[in-house]
Every structure is written in structure tokens, then in C-alpha cells.
Structure 1
């Protein structure tokens, strides 16, 4: 069990439909971040493919299986450099397209995640919603959970992973103009309420009329910003994360006088409505 880890968030501008070029650039970014001592590297949502697709067929044209050629190329670099990478890409399964993440390390593919909560935007208009539960991966760089972009608007996703012992949640994202509250408030809230570190990595640039707002950030378990990227520039941000502190879910300010039982104080018997489907529930 590791108590701390140096992480990197790679804020970049993917080129839509240019998967080979994007992969080549991602491999270069991995080399750069590894030279700075980072062990866990997070890329944006759809980093290998771009996001603003106009049809399912167009998305499927650059989607691939997981594991597949791209994850194999990433795994080769991970073995060479002894690093772990969370990469955004489109996954093809039969005639379905998933907005997905691949979690890759020196040992190869560790796991993958299919975006569960889909907005009506870009490839998510045509993608199939994820069909696998949220899970946490126990690795030499910590216990890592995976979310994608719009997932962060649903607090249940972060809480489920925190209850599984997540120490870090990776959030590859494509925040367009209009989503400024996500980096400003929501990421901090999810980190603070779950006492978990967050690596939220956005893209930059304009793609088919949509401008993306950057502002990738690394936030600690107290909701404090450790590193933040520019609104329009490609860059890599770094931070050292305290993993040990995330395991202490009872926050003691004054022993015996002022203590916050964040998880043991939960009352799930009163939270049943959260699990009800529908736009609203009458009480």
C-alpha cells in the first residue's frame, strides 16, 4: 500500500478523426511526464479520437476494441517507463460505440470504464450508455476510480467509489463553454465530500464549433487546488497526492470534542429516493 504518489494531468488538443496522430502525441506526453517523475498520468476524454462526431458511423470509424492496438502501444510505453495511464478513447463492441477509458500500466490493461451518464452532446448523442458498475482498481499508484465528464454531475458515482476505498478519482473530461462551474465548484465539492483526491483533465481548442475551456485541475481530499491549467493552452500539470489521508474518513479537529464521522455517520436507510428512477419524486 502506497501512501503518496506524483500524478500528472495532460491537457491537450486532440484532432478529430486523427487517431494515429493523437496516439503519437499522447505517447510523447507520457515520455515527458515520466521524465518529471509522475507515476499516474491522466488524459482527457476522447483524447485519441476527438469528441464532436456527427453520427454513430463516424464515431465507429475511429473506435476500437479494448484491449486493442492503441492500448497495446500505451502498455508498451508504460512497461518501459513504469507508469500508469488513464486514456480516453471510443470503444467499439459489435455495432455499439462506448465513450470509454482504458486504464493501462506496466502489466498491460488493468481495466476499462464506459461512461454511464451521457449528455446530449458530441459522440454521447450516439454512444451506448455504460453497462458496468463503478469500480476501484488497487494498483501500485493507489486505489484508483474512473469517471468521465458528465458523471461528475451525479454525486452518487463518486460516493460509490469512495465507499469502495478510492484514494484517487480520475476524471477525463471535455468541458465546453458553458460548463465553467464544473472546474470551479463541482470537482472541489466531490473531492471534499468524499475525502478523495481528484484529477480532472480537460481538453482545449475548438472542434466543429465547440470551444473547450481547459482548466484541468488536481484537487486534494480537502477540496484544495494543488495544480490548475490554463483555459486555452496545452500543458501538463503535476502534483504530489497524499493517499494515506484519504483513508481517514473520521476527521478529528479536537479529539473528543470536534470530530466529523464522514462515512460512519451515513444514514443510508433515509436515502432510498436516490435509487428511484424518474425526473422527480413526490414526497
Structure 2
């Protein structure tokens, strides 16, 4: 067995409590698509980005509620992410809940979207989890994929599917769609990217296969994306190349090329000259608002 049914829920959301509507949507998907094994939502879909909605994990109402939903339907559930409060710090965290309603992993976003995602502490650990009889999955959140090292860590840990909750409301969404395809191809995996719809996000979720091919690209509005994926296809591509072409994971494994920029002692005058991360200044010289 290597097949799994995954439903991405591209849902409309406000910057506040959306949990009631999300629960209704999951209930509807479970009734209509009884072959679905896993449900994935967008980043910060449930409670928005305001730190006042941050909760402890474990022990918060968010995880308890979604754990009950997963157990009721017997599904794997990655309910997007929420702001987690822990020891005076805030993290953008996505829990992984199994069909018994148990939180088996939590992934903290490693690259908060600075300078806009202020006050959020970066996570430090890559997260993968196994679906018994199916395969290995990795978790990434939104801006993380702009840093290829985060995806390299997941593929090196054996991830065959990357689950990627996203919250993008900006004009660079098309660029992100290109990145999803490129990462899927370079890491020879399924890449399941779920964005939030309006008014918080611009939708356009995308799922790509291990050759970088588009399996589905959503529109801007609410959309339910139920797909059946076969991980034996990923294993064939990794073993033989996509349509018998490149085998990049093997080439990376076998490479002896040193990369000085990854050494702890490395210093880049070019990067240092860029200055601090800050909000872009107005072209007219007018001060931007803090």
C-alpha cells in the first residue's frame, strides 16, 4: 500500500476565530469524500496572525478541538498553523494529528516572514512523520520554502510528500507557484501547498508531482482539493529519474563538492553589505509607517 487520499481545504478566513466554519468544512469533506485519509489547511487559517490569539501547545483549545475532529473522522489532520505561546516567546506552529486524535509532531516555522511577521521566534527543527503503510511526510510553512535548505533537510530525512500550509496575500503568489514546482522536481517529491482564500489570502493553492508537473492549481476563491496520491510513483522517480531523466537526490548524495557558505566560520561581505531587515522605504522620501 502506497496510496493516500489528501484533501486540501482552501478556505476563506478573517483575521480572527474561524474554527467553527473550518470544522463544518472538514465534516462536509469527511462525508462526501470518504476515501480521504488526510486533510490539510492553510497557514494561520483558524485564528489569523494576531498574537493575541496565541495559545500554548499542548494544552490549548485549538489542538484539543482539532484532535477531537481528527479522531471523530479517523483522519490525519494538519489544521494549518496557529501562533503558539511558549515561555514568553511566540512561534508559528503547525501540529500533526493522527487518526486517533493524538498530536504526534509540531513544526515551528523556521523562517518567519520578516520584517512583517514581527515578534515570532524561528523554529530550529525539521519535522517528518510516517503514515503507516504509506510513506514519509515532511512539514514546511509558507516563507520557509524561499530557503531551499529547509526542503533539503526534509528530503534528506526521507520525506516523499511535503505538506506546506501557506498564507499569501501578495502579488508574488505566481512566483511561489513556480517555487513549489521547482522544489517538487529538485527533491523528487509531491509538494502539497495549501493557501488561504480571501480576505486573508489570494488562494491559488498548488500541488506538484516529483517531476515538477502541476497536479492541480486552484483559483482564488474557496476550493476543496481532494486528490489521490501514489507514493510508489515518487519512489520510481527517485530510483530512475522522471521519465528516465535526472536523479538529483542521488547526485547530491554522491557529491564531494564543498559549499563554503554553509561553514559556521564563513562570512559574506556581499550579504553583510545588504544591511538589516526592514520595511521598504517610500520612493518619494516619505516616511513609511511603523
TM-score w.r.t. length of structure 1: 0.84
Instruction: Report how far residue 253 of structure 1 moved.
Output: 7.2
Among 28, 33, 39, the residue aligned to 2:29: 33
Q: Where does 1:208-227 land on structure 2 (aligned, <5 Å)?
A: 212-227=201-216
The answer for unaligned runs of 5 or more in structure 1 is: 54-58
Q: Does 1:202 align with 2:195?
A: yes
Alignment RMSD: 2.2
C-alpha distance in structure 2 between counterparts of 1:99 and 1:278, whole Å? 29
Q: Judging changes above 3 Å, is the alpha-carbon distance between structure 1 residues 25 and 194 closer, same or farther for their aligned structure 2 residues?
A: same
Q: Where does 1:227-266 land on structure 2 (aligned, <5 Å)?
A: 227-231=216-220, 233-248=221-236, 249-252=238-241, 260-266=246-252
Tell me if the contact between 1:227 and 1:238 (Cα under 8 Å) persists in the aligned partners.
Answer: no
Q: Where does 1:67-82 land on structure 2 (aligned, <5 Å)?
A: 67=58, 68-82=60-74
Q: Judging changes above 3 Å, is the alpha-carbon distance between structure 1 residues 236 and 275 closer, same or farther for their aligned structure 2 residues?
A: farther
C-alpha distance in structure 1 between counterparts of 2:241 and 2:113, whole Å? 39
Match of 1:270 in 2: 258
C-alpha distance in structure 2 between counterparts of 1:235 and 1:146, whole Å? 21
Match of 1:6 in 2: 5
Instruction: Report how far residue 121 of structure 1 moved.
Output: 5.3
C-alpha distance in structure 2 between counterparts of 1:202 and 1:259, whole Å? 31
C-alpha distance in structure 2 between counterparts of 1:189 and 1:167, whole Å? 15
Q: Where does 1:94-243 land on structure 2 (aligned, <5 Å)?
A: 94-107=87-100, 108-120=102-114, 122=116, 124-131=117-124, 133-140=125-132, 142-207=135-200, 212-231=201-220, 233-243=221-231
C-alpha distance in structure 1 between counterparts of 2:256 and 2:118, whole Å? 34
Tell me if the contact between 1:183 and 1:216 (Cα under 8 Å) persists in the aligned partners.
Answer: no
Mean Cα deviation higher: 113-122 or 234-243: 113-122
The answer for unaligned runs of 5 or more in structure 2 is: 273-290
Match of 1:56 in 2: none
Instruction: Report how far residue 260 of structure 1 moved.
Output: 3.2
Instruction: Report how far residue 43 of structure 1 moved.
Output: 0.6
C-alpha distance in structure 2 between counterparts of 1:99 and 1:268, whole Å? 36
Instruction: Report how far residue 161 of structure 1 moved.
Output: 0.6
Mean Cα deviation higher: 261-270 or 83-92: 261-270
Instruction: Report how far residue 259 of structure 1 moved.
Output: 5.5
Q: Secondary structure at the match of 1:205?
A: coil
Instruction: Report how far residue 250 of structure 1 moved.
Output: 2.9
Q: Judging changes above 3 Å, is the alpha-carbon distance between structure 1 residues 278 and 180 closer, same or farther for their aligned structure 2 residues?
A: farther
TM-score w.r.t. length of structure 2: 0.82
Q: Judging changes above 3 Å, is the alpha-carbon distance between structure 1 residues 238 and 182 closer, same or farther for their aligned structure 2 residues?
A: farther
Match of 2:288 in 1: none
Instruction: Report how far residue 263 of structure 1 moved.
Output: 2.1
Q: Judging changes above 3 Å, is the alpha-carbon distance between structure 1 residues 192 and 62 closer, same or farther for their aligned structure 2 residues?
A: same
Instruction: Report how far residue 243 of structure 1 moved.
Output: 0.9
Instruction: Report how far residue 126 of structure 1 moved.
Output: 1.4
Flag the structure with higher strand content. Answer: 1
Mean Cα deviation higher: 134-143 or 79-88: 134-143
